[in-house]
Amino acid sequence: MTNSFALHIPDVELEPEPLDPSQIISGDPEVTGKVLWESEDGRQARGIWQITPGVVSDTEADELFVVISGRATVEIADGPTLEVGPGDLAVLHEGDRTIWTVHETLRKAYVITSPGEDG
């Protein structure tokens, strides 16, 4: 989408984004998502992401997200533990190593910024 738009996040149909099996710590979590916009250089993306209950590990991008529904505990290695639920905004930094314990299917809207070649 290149023009201005509005949408109702709970109604957006998401597409499967299979997890790497090595990321799954426990349970049978499934990830779906939809990129709504991406910059021409691929350094910025905006979208919606969802994960079902379970525990997964990840290495994060530079991301700001707002939880629309569901709940999770996000443990950041050498950092804080974030408890997130509906209406919460969170910021993750590039390279953060995390453990996501998803208590209720979590849906979030996000903006990701990737570093340029010089940083």
- Say what the pLDDT of residue 103 is: 98
Q: What mean pLDDT is predicted for residues 51-80?
A: 97
Which residue range forms the structural domain that includes residue 61? 14-113
As for how many domains the chain has, the answer is: 1
- Give residues with Cβ within 8 angstroms of 94, minimum separation 6: 60, 61, 62, 114, 115
CATH at residue 90: 2.60.120.10
Domain annotation covers residue 8: no
Residue 118 included in any domain = no
- pLDDT surpassing 80 at residue 93: yes
Q: Is the pTM of this model over 0.75?
A: yes
Is residue 7 included in any domain, yes or no?
Answer: no
Residue 117 has pLDDT above 70, yes or no: no
- Asked if the model's pLDDT at residue 1 lies above 90, the reply is no
Phi, psi of 42 (to 5 degrees): 75, 5
49 domain-assigned: yes
* Separation between Cα atoms, residue 58 and residue 97, nearest integer Å: 6
Q: Is residue 2 part of a domain?
A: no
In a domain, 3, yes or no: no
65 within some domain: yes
* 26 found inside a domain: yes
